Structure 1
Amino acid sequence: MLHILMISGTAIGVMFAIWVVGKAIQALQGKCTKALEYEEFVKLIKTEPDLHLIDLTEPDYFKKHHIKGAVNIPGEDFQQYADTLPDDKLCVMYCRTGLQSRRAFQFLTENGYSTDNLYYLDAKMMYVAKYEGKEAQ
């Protein structure tokens, strides 16, 4: 009987740990509510003339695939450039997979930077296939 209770206790402990991890993931996702889907991103590019685009891809990739007017800050170098982001312009960060831009946004929110005018593309750069290596207009 005691052995059965120990197994049940272990199962409850595992279930509790899974619940805690799930709550932590929800909290992190709650901090990153400024994610844009691809369609929203394209609309901003077309409608916001002063949009500041930050491309977080590697320099070699940026040379072949980027949106016209974007500034290249490789994801691994982003933290040292965080202070240079304009507070007075609408900014969108993007990368090849969405991972670097999400991490950059999390870094900013966790370190107290203003993110009022900052968004990130939470999707793959689908325009690359459309524009086949040419600068996106």
Structure 2
Amino acid sequence: MNTVFYLILGSFVLWILFKQFAPLKGLRSLTPEQFQREAKGNQVIDVREVHEYNRGHIKGAVNFPLSQLQQYIDDIPKDRTVLLYCQSGMRSKQAAKLFVRKGYSNVAELRGGIITWKGQMQK
């Protein structure tokens, strides 16, 4: 009985981990150099919390915290390229899932988050 329970529990944990870290269909993961090139003329969104954004953000980025993204997502045209970033890449991937579910077809995220960024920042 215990063995079956642990097998089911282990399978469930593996499934959750897979869903969390598996590549997202339709999401491009960009290097900082690629992100910087594509940022020109496209919608750049910082999904970190306001206090993180205020400490410094990529020039031209708007702040829609992941915790509040549902409130803003319908204001962003679906025909625009959406570039997302956060601190390390985890929250931007969650935000990307939301954009893809809402029908956005051109979504990209900064691989490794802002900690990999070497471009211009502003406060």
* Normalised TM-score (structure 1): 0.68
2:36 is the alignment partner of 1:42? no
2:67 is the alignment partner of 1:76? yes
C-alpha separation in 2, matches of 1:101 and 1:84: 18
| Counterpart residue type for residue 91 of structure 1 | V
More strand by share: 2
Q: 1:101 to 1:48 in 2, by over 3 A?
A: closer
Which residue number corresponds to residue 54 of structure 1? 45
1:77-116, aligned counterparts within 5 Å? Answer: 77-109=68-100, 112-116=101-105
2:8 is the alignment partner of 1:13? no
* Conserved? CA contact 1:50–1:89, under 8 Å: no
Unaligned 5+ segments in structure 1 are 1-8
* Conserved? CA contact 2:47–2:92, under 8 Å: yes
Percent of pairs identical after alignment? 21
Q: Between Structure 1 and Structure 2, whose CA radius of gyration is higher?
A: 1
The alignment yields a C-alpha RMSD, in angstroms, of: 2.9
Q: Relative contact order: is structure 1 or structure 2 higher (C-alpha 8 Å, sep ≥ 6)?
A: 2
| Counterpart residue type for residue 63 of structure 1 | N
What is the CA distance between 1:66 and its match in structure 2? 1.1
* Normalised TM-score (structure 2): 0.74
Which residue number corresponds to residue 5 of structure 1? none
Q: 1:54 to 1:113 in 2, by over 3 A?
A: same
C-alpha separation in 2, matches of 1:75 and 1:27: 18
Number of residues paired by the alignment? 122
Secondary structure of the residue that 1:126 maps to in structure 2? Answer: helix
Secondary structure of the residue that 1:57 maps to in structure 2? Answer: coil
More helix by share: 1
C-alpha separation in 1, matches of 2:38 and 2:95: 24
1:114-125, aligned counterparts within 5 Å? Answer: 114-125=103-114
